[in-house]
Chain A
């Protein structure tokens, strides 16, 4: 009787351990791809206020989210981004947007100056009154830590093409080839890294739906279970059609 309890406890422990060991982050690069970004009003340092769509329709955007009081990843992230983009072309603009409602244009101006980007027309520093909605549209959810007076957040760079679609997201401080792919994506240049929907791929495990931004289980998943199902079937058939010399 107690065997069942022991087995249950062992199984529970193993499941808990396994679950704890899987990498779990709320932020996922594959989410929201080919969805439209929220058309938030922007207050841009040194420029008049405008809507998001007015900005990305003139030039594709790389959107970097940060806040000026950040004592963590924000500054290294922006410094590395600045350095990495120095030698790239100017087929895009970079929008540094604060997600902290305490930040105002003066704070953002100081940030631009500290990075020596205040005179660089390719870089724009802005705030918005609709940050919640914008965060929602890119699945970016910074968490306020009241003991540290800091946001707990990842470094996120979002590629937006000139139609306002999110083409690619990069989490963490990334450089080189990853940025090339991001720039290619916002300029609608084919990137072989992505699998495009293909009518000839009949047995995909998952099918990505750009309209919902979600993966749906596909026919391919069935194929993974198929060998076991066929084996069971074979066993049943053999058992039914074999003349057995029974032991009993």
Chain B
């Protein structure tokens, strides 16, 4: 049974994440309104918002997944509260410094901060080191947290057991719960990508403080940036899936899911291939060896398709022809899986080299990653938040609003994403603060995105008030 301290820190995480999420959505809507010509931001303001929006979103949904699996992991192993609290403090400090570097220092090199952009000072001089320090603090905090959870798993399971390798044989003596398997797979990937981030930061600092005596290789820096960025953006999804494997059947009143040989194989494939899928971000880099481009495409298929296959199969089997206790959390999980699969297909289309030639740096890219985040991972985490908050507070009969809230969320989310997809298919480029006249459909589709994004925000505000109210009660409850 989890401790009261764990409940409280999880509640604090949830409130913080939802608050930052709302601010980030507002930044996104402002960007789309500016692209539509409805409001007029300077290009600098637009790119400040873009940088803050991207990094904050990635950060909060990563920590959302971590907070959720940390909470649920207590069912299997004892986790470390102090490390959890340190990760929270470092996250808050990191976000504060990050926002200072962007909103006050005007740093605006996008969330990818591709080398050598951070050194091409177009902002306050101190903003570059502050930005790098902020990312370092975040990476260190999250790395400690991830290693701590892996250590706790390895206290109970051997390496082979934690990866469920015994399930490749018949009648395994020890069963690795799917939650432990997927958490372990995700955490290992996260550790690798955070180490990539640490190396990247070290390289940036080395050049920054070397007075020209050390210069970086742009190809290496881009590879490391996407090793970190692409991998963490995917692993946070898998953290959400670990939660679903643990809770979906439980909430639905169905038997708990078990690890089988194909579940174990699929997730082990995911671990191996997710660490090399990032090469698909470098298709346009002619200096990247051709072999790595081919690995990028193949790894993109092998990393996503097996995990998606077994998850969809498991959910399908769980709901098909059986009586399900549908409630808001498992509906969010169910819709989230659909969003994850649809976004994943968009990603696989884009990761196919012949398609990427057409779709590269068009709005198709934000279309697919917003699909598996806004209508995928976000729903996984909000489903968990809602389930968590309702566990320890009185039922206030909020379920009666379920269909309205879900309807609003879906209408807003789908409309918002369609605006991206249609624009992407029409070759509207991404990362333009304003569209030139030649890109006729750019502005009206941006307005459509802003309107539907606002509808999505309304649904999120419901969740924020409903969940936060309950989490505040948990924080201040004596037991």
B158 touching A224 by the CB < 8 A rule?
A: no
| Residue B217 at the chain A interface, CB threshold 8 Å | yes
| Residue A50 at the chain B interface, CB threshold 8 Å | no
Partner of B223, one of A205, A247, A248: A205
Partner of B294, one of A19, A220, A221, A243: A19
CB neighbours (8 Å) of B301 from chain A are: 14
Q: Chain B's nearest CB lies how many Å from the CB of A215?
A: 8
Give Cα distance in the complex from A227 to B157, angstroms. 23
Partner of A22, one of B147, B213, B218, B294: B294
B220 touching A220 by the CB < 8 A rule?
A: yes
CB neighbours (8 Å) of A146 from chain B are: none
A205 touching B220 by the CB < 8 A rule?
A: yes
Give Cα distance in the complex from A248 to B158, angstroms. 11
CB neighbours (8 Å) of B323 from chain A are: none
A201 touching B150 by the CB < 8 A rule?
A: no
Taking CB atoms and an 8 Å cut-off, the chain B residues in 193-238 that contact chain A are: 193, 195-196, 199, 203, 210, 212-220, 223-224, 227
Contact with B along A219-239 (1 / 0, CB 8 A): 011011011101100111011
Q: Chain A's nearest CB lies how many Å from the CB of B287?
A: 7
CB neighbours (8 Å) of B161 from chain A are: 247
| Residue B399 at the chain A interface, CB threshold 8 Å | no
A21 touching B297 by the CB < 8 A rule?
A: yes
**Chain B interface, DSSP helix/strand/loop, else mixed:** helix
Partner of A244, one of B154, B199, B215: B154
B219 touching A203 by the CB < 8 A rule?
A: no
CB neighbours (8 Å) of A224 from chain B are: 220, 223-224, 227
A238 touching B213 by the CB < 8 A rule?
A: no
| Residue A48 at the chain B interface, CB threshold 8 Å | no
- Contact (A206, B219) CB under 8 Å given A14-B301, A18-B294, A19-B294: yes
Q: Chain A's nearest CB lies how many Å from the CB of B444?
A: 32
Contact with B along A188-214 (1 / 0, CB 8 A): 000000010010111111100000000
Give Cα distance in the complex from A14 to B158, angstroms. 34
Could you tell me how many residues of chain A have their Cβ less than 8 Å away from some Cβ of chain B? 39
CB neighbours (8 Å) of A244 from chain B are: 154-158
Q: Which residue of A lies closest to B278 (CB)?
A: A224
A22 touching B290 by the CB < 8 A rule?
A: yes
| Residue A147 at the chain B interface, CB threshold 8 Å | no
Could you tell me how many residues of chain B have their Cβ less than 8 Å away from some Cβ of chain A? 45
Give Cα distance in the complex from A223 to B198, angstroms. 12
| Residue A114 at the chain B interface, CB threshold 8 Å | no
CB neighbours (8 Å) of A236 from chain B are: 159
Give Cα distance in the complex from A238 to B174, angstroms. 21
- Contact (A201, B217) CB under 8 Å given A18-B297, A21-B352, A230-B195: yes
| Residue B428 at the chain A interface, CB threshold 8 Å | no
B353 touching A239 by the CB < 8 A rule?
A: no
Partner of B193, one of A18, A220, A227, A245: A227
A21 touching B220 by the CB < 8 A rule?
A: no
- Contact (A15, B294) CB under 8 Å given A224-B220, A238-B150, A242-B151: yes
CB neighbours (8 Å) of A18 from chain B are: 294, 297-298, 353
Q: Chain A's nearest CB lies how many Å from the CB of B52?
A: 26
Having A202-B214, A226-B196, A247-B156, one finds 15 other A-B pairs with CB under 8 Å, namely A21-B353, A24-B290, A203-B217, A218-B217, A220-B219, A220-B220, A227-B192, A227-B193, A235-B159, A236-B159, A238-B147, A239-B154, A242-B154, A244-B158, A246-B158
- The 6 closest A-B CB pairs, nearest first, are A220-B220, A227-B196, A227-B195, A21-B353, A231-B192, A204-B217
Residues on A lying within 8 angstroms of B by beta carbon are 14-15, 18-19, 21-22, 24, 30, 195, 198, 200-206, 218, 220-221, 223-224, 226-228, 230-231, 234-236, 238-239, 242-248
Residues on B lying within 8 angstroms of A by beta carbon are 147, 150-151, 154-159, 161, 173-174, 188, 191-193, 195-196, 199, 203, 210, 212-220, 223-224, 227, 275, 286-287, 290, 293-294, 297-298, 301, 352-354
